[in-house]
Structure 1
């Protein structure tokens, strides 16, 4: 999934919405910090007022990080892996694993290999417990052994791996 782009109009609308959301929070933070009535709380040195706004953005940043973690965990609970999370965030798989270490549930162990017997040959399907990807190895009826090409995209489901293994067994079946 490529990182989404934002148009200038969307960026402007987002900035407006964020500033509209920030102002009441900044006002409340400033009122607590100064003890002044709301209508006078911004009567201060401009640097102090600007620092209050900056501190309030920090509060927003912390909340965005918390909500981002929840979104990553939700995606992981629905089957997204760290490679997909990283792609959505514009970082590597390793970066996503470091950023959200608990977002993708780790299976306690890989499922047992699945054996297929087709076209007088046999294939074994296995799942990598770290990535969730599936791989296959096959012994065709003509005696040839096959595995995915080194540059092949990983299989994301058992069914996909079975389809590739089945195609290999069919290709090298005895006539």
Structure 2
């Protein structure tokens, strides 16, 4: 998809619609800044009036950016790539990734499970792809099976999970 081109008539209609939408906002901004009623927006120093209009455009710009981010995230959630987002916005894939870093979900991949053999027992260490936390399951030499206690704090590294699994295997090793 490429950046859409609009005709001069469409551009004129868009500008008119945006100005119609902007006027009430500009009047409200000007009224708050001066304390004058909104119907007197155009009274006063022309530079101050123009600055009020500029401030209202800034509000519109911020809202357009928010809405564009929402649209990019929606497209990403339906499978659009950063390349496609960039093409729609008229920027590169890298530009789209920088502009909307969370728009396209990253594939969650966890490393393959790791097997430990200690004290004549065996433990498997696995990482949860969603959280990144590690856990373990063990079969000790005496035949008992173990996992972390339900209220145990999650292991934040493979080494930490290995330490707990190793301690379990040692505790239930054959004498």
Report the TM-score range of the alignment, normalised by the length of the smaller protein.
0.5 to 0.7
Is the 2:27–2:39 Cα contact (8 Å) retained in structure 1?
no
| Aligned residue in 2 for 1:49 | 49
The DSSP-based 3-state class of the residue aligned with 2:102 is coil
> Which residues of 2 match residues 93-104 of structure 1 at below 5 A?
93-104=93-104
Identify unmatched segments of 5+ residues in structure 2.
Answer: 113-175
Partners of 2:38 and 2:92 in 1: CA distance: 46
Partners of 1:57 and 1:51 in 2: CA distance: 10
State the structure with more CA Rg.
Answer: 2
Partners of 1:101 and 1:8 in 2: CA distance: 34
- The alpha-carbon deviation at position 2 of structure 1 amounts to 1.4
Partners of 2:94 and 2:53 in 1: CA distance: 34
| Aligned residue in 1 for 2:33 | 33
- The alpha-carbon deviation at position 80 of structure 1 amounts to 0.1
- The alpha-carbon deviation at position 43 of structure 1 amounts to 1.3
Root-mean-square deviation over aligned CA pairs: 1.4
Deviations 1:136-162 (Å, cap 9, x if unpaired)? xxxxxxxxxxxxxxxxxxxxxxxxxxx
Task: Please list every run of at least 4 consecutive aligned residues from structure 1 whose deviation after the TM superposition is greater than 6 angstroms.
Answer: none
Partners of 1:88 and 1:108 in 2: CA distance: 26
Q: Give TM-score scaled by structure 2 length.
A: 0.61
Deviations 1:105-164 (Å, cap 9, x if unpaired)? 011128x9xxxxxxxxxxxxxxxxxxxxxxxxxxxxxxxxxxxxxxxxxxxxxxxxxxxx
Give the total of aligned pairs: 111
Q: Give TM-score scaled by structure 1 length.
A: 0.61
Confirm or deny that 1:9 pairs with 2:33. no
Identify unmatched segments of 5+ residues in structure 1.
Answer: 113-175
